[in-house]
């Protein structure tokens, strides 16, 4: 008993009691408020609902923070959490997650017949000119890993998340600064096409170089509000 008390006293004197050890004064420490939902270091939550943040282009992440704060995207917990933060701080937090270079989880094997996956691949690579649908690759990059500074990659995301976002664009639940080109595209796609696309995208492994491309592969096929400088 006495021994335990003495040990406790010694620990106290070594300041193990009273205040706990200080935390590092870093953005990573501050970002722990985000990773509670978005998974360790922003690698996505295991349930697939909260997407990966790590390694997404900084401009894209920053735009999404503004969209949540200003009501163009609607998720109460997220909007409320960042409501009291300044543009400058949100930009710093976006930059923090963008700078993380972390391995990706393995893809989800697609459960669709090959012809449907082939149709999805054709949409991804070539779009459908007759319906004014651009190829995904025209903005999201030949490798589908996104383009700097504002277009996110489409790989390394769960099928549930991809379905959720395309559905939210169709219903108007998710919006971007006008003109909202992804809303136009999502509304032009059929339900079957979205299903095939998300099976295809969630089923593809990341390429050897998983980083976002430096720039769009060519002239942008549409004008997108979120990409204006």
Partner 1 sequence: MMRRLLIGLTALAALAALPLALLAWQRNLSDTTPPPAAPVSLTRGAYLAAVGNCAGCHTARGGARLAGGRPIPTPFGTVFSSNLTPHATGLAGWSADDFWRALHFGQSRDGRLLLPAHPVTNTTLVTREDADSLHAWLQAQPAVDAPRRAHELRGFYGSQLAIAAWRALYFKPGVYRPDPARDTAWNRGAYLAQGLTHCSACHAGRGALGGDQGPADFRGGLLAGLGWTAPSLLDPLEAGVQRWPDATLQLWLRDGQAGAHAAQGPMAEVVLGSTAALNDADLAAMSAYLRTLPEQAVARPEPAKADLRRRERGAGLYRDHCAACHGEQGEGRLDDSGNPAYPPLAGSRLVTQASPTNLIRVIERGGFAPATAGHPRPYGMPPFAGVLDAADMAALASHLRQSLGHAAGDVDTVEVLRLKAAAAVH
Sketch the per residue contact string, 32 through 61, with partner 1: x for CB under 8 A, - otherwise: xxxxxx------------------------
Give least dist CB 99 to partner 1, A: 16
On the question of a cis peptide bond just before residue 37, with omega within 30 degrees of 0, the verdict is no
Q: Is 162 in the site for partner 1 (CB under 8 A)?
A: no
Please identify which residue in 7, 8, 11, 17 interacts with partner 1, judged by CB under 8 A: 17
> Residues 163, 164, 168, CA angle at the centre, nearest 5°?
115
Nearest distance, CB of residue 66 and partner 1, angstroms? 9
Judged by DSSP in three states, 208 sits in: coil
- Which of 77, 114, 129, 130 lies at the binding interface for partner 1 (CB under 8 A)? 77
User: What span, in angstroms and rounded, lies between the C-alpha atoms of 110 and 119?
Assistant: 14
> Could you give the CA distance from residue 218 to residue 26 in angstroms, rounded to a whole number?
38
DSSP bridge partners of 133: 128
Taking CB under 8 A as the rule, does residue 172 contact partner 1? Answer: no
85 or 102: CB nearest partner 1: 85
Asked whether position 13 contacts partner 1 by CB under 8 A, the answer is no
Q: Does 82 bind partner 1 (CB under 8 A)?
A: yes
Closest CA to 223 of 121, 171, 150: 150
Q: Token pair for residue 28? A: 């990573």
CA distance 94 to 148: 13
Residue 28 interacts with partner 1 (CB under 8 A)? Answer: no
User: Is residue 229 close enough to count as binding partner 1 by CB under 8 A?
Assistant: no
Q: Does 104 bind partner 1 (CB under 8 A)?
A: no
Q: Binding of partner 1 at residue 75 (CB under 8 A)?
A: no
Rg, C-alpha atoms of the chain: 21
Give the orientation angle of helix 191-202 with respect to helix 159-171, to 10 degrees: 150
Interaction site with partner 1 (CB under 8 A):
17-25, 27, 29-30, 32-37, 69-72, 77, 79-86, 88-89, 92
């Amino acid at each position: 008993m006495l021994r335990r008390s003495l040990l406790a006293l010694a620990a106290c004197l070594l300041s193990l009691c009273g205040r706990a050890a200080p935390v590092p004064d870093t953005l990573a420490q501050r970002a722990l408020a985000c990773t509670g939902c978005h998974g360790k270091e922003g690698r996505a939550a295991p349930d697939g609902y909260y997407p990966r943040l790590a390694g997404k282009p900084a401009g894209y992440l920053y735009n999404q923070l503004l969209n949540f704060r200003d009501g163009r995207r609607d998720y109460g917990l997220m909007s409320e959490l960042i409501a009291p933060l300044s543009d400058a701080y949100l930009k710093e937090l976006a930059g923090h997650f963008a700078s993380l270079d972390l391995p990706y989880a393995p893809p989800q094997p697609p459960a669709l017949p090959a012809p449907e996956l082939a149709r999805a691949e054709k949409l991804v690579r070539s779009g459908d000119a007759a319906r004014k649908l651009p190829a995904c690759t025209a903005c999201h990059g030949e490798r589908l890993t996104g383009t700097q500074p504002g277009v996110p990659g489409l790989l390394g995301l769960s099928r549930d998340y991809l379905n959720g976002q395309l559905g939210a664009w169709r219903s108007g639940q998710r919006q971007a600064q006008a003109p909202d080109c992804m809303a136009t595209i999502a509304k032009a796609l059929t339900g079957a096409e979205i299903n095939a696309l998300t099976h295809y995208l969630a089923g593809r492994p990341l390429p050897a170089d998983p980083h976002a491309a430096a720039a769009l592969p060519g002239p942008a096929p549409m004008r997108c509000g979120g990409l204006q400088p």
